[in-house]
Structure 1
Amino acid sequence: MANQTTLRHVVLFSFRDDAPADAVDKIVTDFGKLKDAIPGVVAYEWGTNVSPENLNDGFTHCFTLTFASAPDRDTYLNHPVHQAFVHTLGACLAKAVVVDYWAQ
């Protein structure tokens, strides 16, 4: 690969119709706290779908984390704080998609 210095970790969430708004807000807040709790996160951003194309297949929330290396990403994925966060999603999450890529 030409440039292996910027690894993006993109997470899309679709929440259950019966998920309380305050529970979804807590998930968003807690996701944002991961960047400060786990070393190796270079950048973090999130937002909700605003596309007029109606191609989001129910996914409403997008989170993007940037890492400088695959080992940094792997540390994040296996970190106990991340694992604890993942275990809090079950009651609200309908589905998730995760895509990692090297920025070109």
Structure 2
Amino acid sequence: MESPAVLRHVVLFAFKQEASAEQVNDTVSRFAALPQAMPGIRQFEWGSNVSPEGLNDGFTHCFTLSFASAEDRDAYLTHPAHQAFVARLGECLARSLVIDYWARASA
């Protein structure tokens, strides 16, 4: 039996050099609070880069949100809580990278 498809929304953050640890921690905390405001988020996880390869191009934090449908993802993108979160990112964020994909498991 095939498991239901899951839409992954992956967000990478590269913080400004001058961003304080407090600003970074506040950003992570505010991002982690979004699932409580939006029932369409099935799963949320995050972590900071620990790769020894040195290929992260300045991106230090990765956030992965899972949705059951594109409609749930779209509702998240336009939700006032998400919009308020994004509006404050310029205070300490240098760059972001976002990619969405439908998760596929290999047989």
> TM range, normalised to the smaller chain?
over 0.9
Rounded Cα–Cα distance in structure 1 between residues aligned with 2:100 and 2:72? 13
Give the alignment's TM-score, normalised by structure 2: 0.93
SS in 2 for 1:10: strand
Structure 1 unaligned spans of 5+:
none
- Shift of residue 5, structure 1, vs aligned partner: 2.1
RMSD between superposed Cα atoms in Å: 1.3
Which runs of at least 4 in structure 1 moved beyond 3 Å after TM superposition? none
Rounded Cα–Cα distance in structure 2 between residues aligned with 1:4 and 1:55? 32
Query: Once the two structures are superposed, what CA deviation does each residue of 1:25-65 show, in whole Å capped at 9, x if it has no partner?
Result: 00000000001111200000000000000000000000000
Aligned positions, number? 103
Identity rate, percent = 60
Give the alignment's TM-score, normalised by structure 1: 0.95
Partner of 2:92: 92
Give the direction of change, closer, same or farther, for the CA distance of 1:97–1:3 in structure 2 (3 Å limit).
farther
Matches within 5 A, 1:17-96: 17-96=17-96
Rounded Cα–Cα distance in structure 2 between residues aligned with 1:102 and 1:26? 30
Give the direction of change, closer, same or farther, for the CA distance of 1:24–1:56 in structure 2 (3 Å limit).
same
